[in-house]
Amino acid sequence: MSIKDNLINIKSALPASVRLVAVSKFHSAQEVIEALQAGQTVFGENRVQEAAAKFDEVKKSYPNASLRIIGQLQRNKVKEAVRIADAIDSVDRLELLDEIEKQAAKIDKKIQVLFEFHTGEESKSGFDSKEAVFEALKKIASGLCPHVEPKGFMTMAPFTEDKNLVRASFKKLRDLRDECQKAFPDFDLSELSMGMSGDWQIAVEEGSTMVRIGTAIFGARDYSQAKKD
Ligand SMILES: *Cc1c(COP(=O)(O)O)cnc(C)c1O
């Protein structure tokens, strides 16, 4: 099946309220363009250098392509991430928030962020405590990060066949979102980025507003050419 067919199939199965992030990591600029030609505009990448090379090229002919960074981000990659992306969905520590603000201020760009929260035993990334997320939101609420716009939360469910564990992980993120929204009513924290190729149906049932799908759109990734980012 083509990228276009895959996109059509997934979109027809997604409720209209759920946005699709096409995860194009390890796939070429040409494949991204194929998706753009089929009407997909939002893409996710987890390695900044790979994403920059690819999207600098893609945006020459498709300036409407929108990129979200979804992978763990090192401090020294933030400058480039802020330049190429419209959103950073994997903010997992306070230090990162400071660096995003600093780099976004330099180029006077407003950048959306999601807070990644650790909800399952097997995945390691993300904020570990509700308190830490609250601290980050407090910092933004106090006006210290005027270039950062918090929009919600992101998580990766554990890689397991046990659907109950996957569902519990998504529920946990939704509960966190509800608590944070209540505590910070001036922000719109409605976004829940959860669900990938293998578990997006469960994520949607649990309130996902944004699924991140790679394999089911672009096919299997070829890691043999992987460069260190
Ligand atoms: C790679 C990746 C995805 C997409 O995974 P698939 O299983 O290929 O759909 C989603 N989210 C994150 C954070 C990823 O790194």
User: For residue 102, what are the CA distances in angstroms to 9, 25, 60, 121?
Assistant: 41, 26, 27, 33
Q: Tens digits of per-residue pLDDT, 12-56?
A: 999 999 999 999 999 999 999 999 999 999 999 999 999 999 999
pLDDT of residue 224: 83
pLDDT of residue 1: 87
pLDDT mean over 186-194: 98
**Coil/strand/helix, residue 44:** strand
Kindly state if the Cβ of 71 falls inside 6 Å of ligand 1: yes
Residue type, 105: A
The two tokens of residue 14 are: 């997604």
Kindly state if the Cβ of 70 falls inside 6 Å of ligand 1: yes
**Coil/strand/helix, residue 113:** strand
pLDDT of residue 127: 94
pLDDT of residue 123: 63
In the predicted model, is pLDDT for residue 66 greater than 60? Answer: yes
Maximal CA-CA distance, the chain: 50
In the predicted model, is pLDDT for residue 99 greater than 70? Answer: yes
Any residues with CB less than 8 A from the CB of 174 and at least 6 apart, and which?
A: 192, 206, 207
In the predicted model, is pLDDT for residue 100 greater than 90? Answer: yes
pLDDT of residue 120: 85
Give the H/E segment covering residue 109: none
Nearest CA to ligand 1 atom 7: 197
pLDDT of residue 124: 73
pLDDT of residue 88: 98
Q: Name the residue of 9, 46, 123, 200 whose CB sits within 8 Å of the most ligand 1 atoms, as the mutation to test its pocket.
A: 46
* Alpha-carbon span 124 to 134, nearest angstrom: 20
The count of other CB atoms within 10 Å of the CB of residue 193 is: 27
pLDDT mean over 161-179: 97
Q: Tens digits of per-residue pLDDT, 112-129?
A: 999 999 998 766 789 999
Cα of 154 to ligand 1 centre, how many Å? 12
Least confident of 27-31, 144-148, 222-226: 222-226
Kindly state if the Cβ of 196 falls inside 6 Å of ligand 1: yes
pLDDT of residue 227: 62
Claim: this prediction has a pTM higher than 0.85: yes
Rounded mean pLDDT of the chain? 95
